[in-house]
């Protein structure tokens, strides 16, 4: 498997396509999201995704940035996403998202994967040789 990035003991692994469900009047936004097993939150979205879905922050959190040693205030809000697995089943999840305006792509964290496994009553395996995320 190709290692995409490595920083602060976190590694970016395979990706999943998520469909972000927007507010009224906007179209759903399909995004290819990287999986970062070192990020213990649910989801990080960028400004482009936030604008496309009408993201509304509900609170602020202090996140440590890789570019600063001090916590940076970040907007947090709930987003609804759907995930279609290879078997054609679609799962809709409501998760917390942190806005990192300049992030290249949305990032799925370990809390998202744990919630998904709980919803599906399954176990998660990352197959690095085949670049696959397996839910069984």
* 121 occurs within a structural domain: yes
Provide the domain limits for residue 130.
Answer: 6-135
The list of the chain residues with pLDDT below 50 reads: 1-10
Residue 70: how many CB atoms within 10 A of its CB? 7
* 38 occurs within a structural domain: yes
Q: What are phi and psi of 43, to 5 degrees?
A: -155, 140
CB contact set of 105 (below 8 Å; sequence gap of 6+): 31, 32, 33, 34, 46
Cα distances from 78 to residues 5, 64, 105, in angstroms, run: 27, 20, 18
Give the single-character DSSP code of 54.
Answer: T
* 19 occurs within a structural domain: yes
Q: What is the pTM of this model?
A: 0.76
* Residue 79: predicted pLDDT: 93
* 119 occurs within a structural domain: yes
* 99 occurs within a structural domain: yes
The rounded distance, in Å, linking the Cα atoms of 130 and 96 is: 29
- Return the closest-CA partner of residue 42 out of 118, 94, 112, 124: 112
Instruction: Residue 128: give its domain's CATH number.
Output: 2.40.70.10
Q: Dihedral sign, CA of 135, 98, 81, 51? A: negative
* 90 occurs within a structural domain: yes
Number of domains in the chain: 1
* 1 occurs within a structural domain: no
Give the single-character DSSP code of 104.
Answer: S
């Amino acid at each position: 498997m190709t290692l995409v990035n490595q920083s602060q003991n976190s590694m970016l692994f395979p990706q999943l396509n998520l469909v972000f469900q927007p507010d009224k009047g906007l179209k759903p936004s399909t995004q290819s999201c990287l999986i970062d097993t070192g990020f213990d939150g649910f989801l990080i979205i960028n400004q482009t995704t936030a604008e496309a879905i009408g993201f509304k922050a509900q609170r602020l959190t202090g996140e440590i940035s890789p570019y600063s040693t001090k916590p940076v205030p970040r907007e947090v809000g709930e987003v609804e996403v759907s995930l279609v697995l290879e078997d054609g089943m679609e799962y809709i999840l409501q998760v917390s998202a942190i806005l990192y305006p300049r992030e290249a792509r949305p990032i799925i964290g370990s809390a998202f994967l744990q919630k998904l496994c709980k919803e599906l009553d399954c176990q998660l395996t990352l197959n690095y040789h085949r670049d696959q995320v397996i839910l069984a």
